[in-house]
Amino acid sequence: MYGADPHLRADLERRRTGYVLAVAASHPVSTAAGSCQARTIAARLPRQAWQRYSAGEGAKGHRYYDWAWLAIDPGRPAHRWLLIRRNRRTRELAFYRCYSPRPVPLALLVKVAGIRWTTEENFQAGKGLTGLDEHQVRRWDSWYRWTTMAMLALAFLSIAAATEHATPPPEDQIPLTRNEIAALFSTLIIDPVKDARHRLKWSTWRRRHQHRAKTCHYQRQAREP
C-alpha cells in the first residue's frame, strides 16, 4: 500500500501536494497519546467518533460507510490525519494516511478516498469493453499500439456517455452508459443487424429496468439509519 512508503509521502509533502493513501491495519501511527497500530486506534474510538458519508455513487446507489479521523504526527508542520473507513454491514475496516498543507473537512478526504473506486471501475471497463487485457505481450511496439487503441476506444465511450449525461434522459430511464453505448455501437455501426429496431427497443427496456432498480436502491438507502 502506497501510504506505507515514507519516501513517497515525504516527496509529496515537500511539493505541498495533499494525499489520501491507503495503509495496512498494522501500520504504525504517531498520535498525541503515543505510537500504535492503526487497527488499535480504531478499536479505541468512541461510538460518536464515527460519521456516515458516501464515498460516491455506485451501481446500486451511494456507497455509504462509517468514517472516523484523528490528527497524527503531532509537532510537524501542516496537517496529517489517519482516516478510517468502516463497512456498515460487515464492519470491515480500511485505513488511510492523509496530508494537506491547509485544514480540510472530513467530507473532502472521504471524497478523495472514494475516487479509487472510480479508477478501478475504469480499469475494469477497459478490460471488459475494449479488450485492454486481451493482448499477447511479445514486443513493446505491439503492446504499446494495442494499449493505445484500447484506451482510445474507452475514451470514445466515456466522452459519448458524458455527452449523454449532459442531456436529461426520459424520466423512466437511466442515461446511456458506456456498456450500453458499446453494445449499440457494435450492433448498429460495426456489424449492423437486420433487427435494429428490436435491438433499440431492447436497449430502452434495459435502461427502464435499470432506472427502476436504481430508484428502489436509493429509496432503501434513505430508510436506513
Give the domain ranges of the chain: 2-121, 138-223
How large is the average pLDDT for residues 191-217? 74
Full-prediction pTM beyond 0.75? Answer: no
Q: Which three cell numbers stand for residue 148?
A: 493505445
Q: Which amino acid is at 47?
A: R
Cα(83)–Cα(11) distance, rounded to whole angstroms?
20
Q: In the chain, what are the helix, strand and coil shares in percent, each to the nearest 5?
A: 50, 20, 30
How large is the average pLDDT for residues 132-148? 87
3-state secondary structure of 116: helix
| Residue 154 clears pLDDT 70, i.e. is over it | yes
Q: Are 37 and 127 in contact (CB under 8 A)?
A: no
Q: Which own/partner contact pairs does 9-17 have at CB distance under 8 Å and 24+ positions apart?
A: 9/97, 9/99, 12/99, 13/78, 13/99, 16/78, 16/101
Share of the chain above pLDDT 90, in %: 44
Average pLDDT of the chain to the nearest whole number: 86
Give me the pLDDT at residue 185, please: 81
**pLDDT tens digits along 21-58:** 999 999 999 988 888 999 999 999 999 999 999 887 76
Under the banding of pLDDT at 50, 70 and 90, the label for residue 96 is very high
Name the DSSP class of 189.
I
